[in-house]
Amino acid sequence: MIENELPEAEAEAEAEAEAEAEAEAEARAMLALIEEQQRKVDREFLRPIPLLYGIWGVAWLVGFLALWTGHGANPWFTIPLAVGGTVFGVLLIASIVASAIIGSRINRGVRGVSSFAGMVYGLSWSVCGVSFALLGMGLIAQGLSSELASLYFPAGYALVCGSLYLGGAALWRDKGQLVIGLVMLALGGSSSFAGAPTNNLVMAIAGGGTFIVAALVLARPGRR
């Protein structure tokens, strides 16, 4: 009787082992599927980012160079300051509009907490930008000179961008935004030491260059 029970016990043990192996294989396959889906979502999220960085890179490079040239610091040619300011303003507004459009496409189809976070993050750009602009206008009304104002506004704008990019890096765990945010904060904190209008040249080269390099790095084939 005992001899007959031994093969049955071994068969049951083998069946249990096979069932456990099958369950583990199914779990691994499910995990691989989830990871592949996450990679697909990440690729869809990152696809518009190089374009976004490129737009901001051109806006910073051309816009701040226009301001620098408008102040008469360009040794090769000059333009009226009003023209330089208009060019900068148009590029800035175009970049904000493009960011809103691209951001809405990134968040399209996303619901819940992620959608709310993206909406708040998008609104933060305009709210913070307007707040810094109003602060600058108030300082001018209280006697801030035009030379100091030309130092404040580019630096304040860089500080806004840097802070918001750090927030974006925390929200989406994006190292690219982390690097850009740190660069923008460094520019905002140090550009005024260059004096006006050289600070505009610093913003154009360092700020615009950072965005353009980030766009080129993310746009490389094979990068997620």
* Domain ranges, ordered by start, for the chain: 1-46, 48-218
Model pLDDT for residues 166-205, shown as the tens digit of each residue: 988 888 788 888 999 999 999 999 999 999 999 999 999 9
Q: Which residue has the higher pLDDT, 184 or 224?
A: 184
Model pLDDT for residues 122-148, shown as the tens digit of each residue: 778 878 888 888 999 999 999 999 889
DSSP secondary structure letter of residue 220: S
Model pLDDT for residues 90-122, shown as the tens digit of each residue: 998 888 778 777 766 665 555 555 667 777 777
pLDDT confidence of residue 95:
84
Q: What percent of the chain has pLDDT over 90?
A: 42
Residue 155 pLDDT > 90: yes
Q: Report H helices in the chain.
A: 2-46, 49-70, 81-106, 113-141, 146-172, 175-190, 198-202, 208-218
How many angstroms separate the CA atoms of 42 and 73, rounded? 44
Residue with tokens 């810094």: 132
pTM: 0.75
Q: At what angle do helices 81-106 and 49-70 cross, to 10 degrees?
A: 170
Q: What percent of the chain has pLDDT over 70?
A: 71
